[in-house]
Amino acid sequence: MAAFVLVAKIAGAQSATTPEAGNSLASQRNVQVQKAVVTILPGASQHRAELSVKGFREGSVQVSILSHDEKLLKKEERFLITGEEQLSTMYLLPKGSYYLLVAQNDIKVKQKLLVQ
């Protein structure tokens, strides 16, 4: 019976620069955008993980499962209505260590996923 365990929680942040008057590099200022966070929720059934995503924009996100050497094993596209939602992802993986990547344009958050 396979199950998942959250091993590490890694939050991703997005930063952007906005040009001010003069449009030169010296006159640009950094603007910190809301931090994106993905949490793997406990209590999921075999071959399924429940995710809580926050800090993303409305629109589509890619949910990928990568091997330990970051080879793509599964990729799904999901649509977020509010940018802060709960998602389910199904997988059929042997026991081992994997990465779960949630990406939306320039926002990427990677979690370590342990299948037992």
CATH number at residue 80: 2.60.40.3080
Gap between the Cα atoms of 8 and 96, Å rounded? 15
Say what the pLDDT of residue 45 is. 58
Say what the pLDDT of residue 2 is. 42
Q: Domain count of the chain?
A: 1
Cβ atoms of residues 36 and 54 within 8 Å: yes
Structural element, H or E, at residue 43: none
Say what the pLDDT of residue 34 is. 61
Which stretches of the chain drop beneath a pLDDT of 50? 1-33
Q: Tell if the pTM clears 0.75, that is, is over it.
A: no
Show the domain range for 90.
4-115
Gap between the Cα atoms of 31 and 14, Å rounded? 9
Say what the pLDDT of residue 25 is. 43
